[in-house]
Amino acid sequence: MYKHIIITSTLVFGGFAHADEPESQPETQTEVEAKQGEEAEEGEVNNPDATNPMYVAMRTGAAIPMNDTGIAYSMGLSIGATLADGYSIGLRVMGIPDPPLRESYFGRGATASFAMGPVVEGAYHAPMTEGLDFFVAGAGGFLFASDSVTQENYVLPILNAGVGLRAVSKLRQGGRIYVAPEFGYTPLAQAPNMSLSVGLIR
């Protein structure tokens, strides 16, 4: 009999307990949209490139090859995409007017009015503060040039590694614009270099 009373009391009070709990109401469309907006904004803060994976940039730079004369000025156009966890990869077409062509590259002296070629570039970006990150970058490819006198063609392999800062600012029209100074070194040419990139992320 006591067991019957205890079981009955448990069921009764348990029923009241469940009755007192408010039933969860389904979210309205407005609430769902607001929640999605908050999640998107949070993801945007944690990863500025999350919703804008594509970038286009103009790059200009200067390198000083050792055991040679003159400064190698360069210019280029980059297009690529940002990947997860701060990585980015892209393709750059670059050119160098009046390139210094060392004898160690071709076995003899050469003169050319212009050199150009494709370069694959990649970088890892580590956020420092809002709108500013530190990055480590690397690039590899080749340049080709034609001798101004003999018209003989030359191919120059190129590798470069560098570090820099990227300052990012939002645009009212959507997307972001960035400015990224970089300091690097080209081992094949034994050339320290510096560059400046201005780009758009959308």
Residues 178 and 89 occupy one common structural domain: yes
Looking at the structure, tell me whether residues 21 and 57 fall in a common domain: no
Are both 150 and 61 inside the same structural domain? yes
- State the Cα–Cα distance between residues 62 and 75, nearest whole angstrom: 9
Q: What percent of the chain has pLDDT over 90?
A: 45
Residues 86 and 59 occupy one common structural domain: yes
Q: Is the domain of 23 the same as that of 96?
A: no
pTM above 0.75, yes or no: no
Instruction: Kindly state whether residues 116 and 70 are assigned to the same domain.
Output: yes
Instruction: Based on the fold, state whether residues 11 and 90 are members of the same structural domain.
Output: no
Q: Are 184 and 160 in contact (CB under 8 A)?
A: yes
Cβ pair 134, 163 in contact under 8 A: yes
Query: Rounded distance, CA 48 to CA 201, Å?
Result: 10
For the chain, the domain total comes to 2
Alpha helix (H) residue ranges in the chain: 2-20, 29-46, 103-106
From CA 164, how far away is CA 195, in angstroms rounded?
9
pLDDT given at position 39: 52
Question: What whole-number distance in Å separates Cα of residue 78 and Cα of residue 187?
Answer: 22
CATH number at residue 163: 2.40.160.20
Domain coverage including residue 78: 48-201
The string of pLDDT tens digits covering residues 94-147 is 999 887 765 545 545 667 788 899 999 999 999 999 999 999 999 999 988 888
